[in-house]
Amino acid sequence: MQDIYTIVNKAKSLALGKIRVGMPIKEVDMIVRGYVAEAGYGDFFRHGTGHGVGIAVHETPAINSTGEGLLEEGMVVTIEPGIYIPNLGGVRLEDMVLITTGSPRVLTRIRKDELHIKV
């Protein structure tokens, strides 16, 4: 589970380091999905990378392999990769992000750089 946590956290960090105004939405998914696949867990990443946030919890844009459009300044989206292993468990880490003309602004305030597993 520690390895899975580390991979999911790194995939999220990679996306956060690369997303910019004007980036194709499906490219965000490709960054995350590609890293998870390279780490050997591609078959266990069975959902999209994120979605828009607004009045409803899940709004457009859908950040997945078929996502359409470009990231625009002022959008609020989630970046939430996850790996789920049958009969073992899973990890999903989510950040809410404001797309700005510079680097994206992470709105989430919880630390995700450590894992404390309690059994």
| pLDDT value for 115 | 60
| Residues in contact with 19: Cβ distance below 8 Å, sequence separation at least 6, in sequence order | 28, 71, 79, 97, 99, 104
DSSP state of 101: S
Task: Report the candidate in 23, 40, 2, 20 with the shortest Cα–Cα distance to residue 97.
Answer: 20
Task: Report the candidate in 45, 118, 28, 41 with the shortest Cα–Cα distance to residue 81.
Answer: 45
Cβ atoms of 94 and 108 closer than 8 Å: yes
Q: Where are the domains of the chain?
A: 2-106
Give CA separation, 63 vs 2, 33, 76, 113, in Å.
26, 11, 12, 23
| pLDDT value for 99 | 97
Q: What is the mean pLDDT of each run of 10 residues along the chain (119 residues)?
A: 93 96 97 98 95 88 94 96 95 95 90 60
Q: What is the pTM of this model?
A: 0.89
| Residues in contact with 25: Cβ distance below 8 Å, sequence separation at least 6, in sequence order | 61, 62, 63, 67, 68, 69, 70, 71
DSSP state of 42: G
Q: Is the domain defined by 2-106 classed in CATH 3.40.640.10?
A: no
